[in-house]
Amino acid sequence: MGNRMLLLAGTFVMLVAVSRADEAQPEVLPAPREVPAQDVLPQPRVLPMPELPYYVVDPPPQFGRRSVWQMMSPKYMGPMRPSVVLSPNGGGYYLYNGAPYPWINTHPTWLRGYLLD
């Protein structure tokens, strides 16, 4: 039992000694030095402009509210219908999609001859 007490007391003394050795003295910093004030501001830095990896595309054209009537023309009695283009090879076709106009030979009065729509 005496050996255990001696071992316990030695361990306690060693722990106290180690714990005091870990305590470090606070570091004393030097006093801050004063910087003289400057009346002139430094020159601004010139930053180079980065090159654009793309080019700026113009926006698409803005169509008005009445632009839908560009593909329409009046019939012989006045109501509006899709415009028909008379081609020189004897046929006609719709302007908005290019489909053939089937009544060019059977109903020539449906077209206004003095206008090329």
Report if residue 97 sits inside a domain: yes
Report if residue 49 sits inside a domain: no
Angle of CA points 108, 83, 92, to nearest 5°: 50
Report if residue 115 sits inside a domain: no
For residue 25, the one-letter residue type is Q
**pLDDT of 37 over the 80 cut:** no
**pLDDT of 95 over the 80 cut:** yes
Range of the domain at 93: 70-110
Report if residue 25 sits inside a domain: no
Residue that the structure tokens 């039992």 belong to:
1
Residue 64, helix vs strand vs coil: coil
- The closest of 115, 108, 112, 101 to 77, measured between CA atoms, is 112
Report if residue 55 sits inside a domain: no
- Provide the token pair at 5: 């007490």
> Model confidence at 69, in pLDDT bands (50, 70, 90)?
confident
Report if residue 90 sits inside a domain: yes
> 18 near 10, Cβ under 8 Å?
no
- At 117 the pLDDT is 42
Q: Quick check: pTM over 0.95?
A: no
- At 21 the pLDDT is 55
Report if residue 13 sits inside a domain: no
User: CB neighbours of 76 closer than 8 A, spacing ≥ 6?
Assistant: 109, 110, 111, 112
Other C-beta atoms closer than 10 Å to the C-beta of 71 total: 14
Report if residue 65 sits inside a domain: no
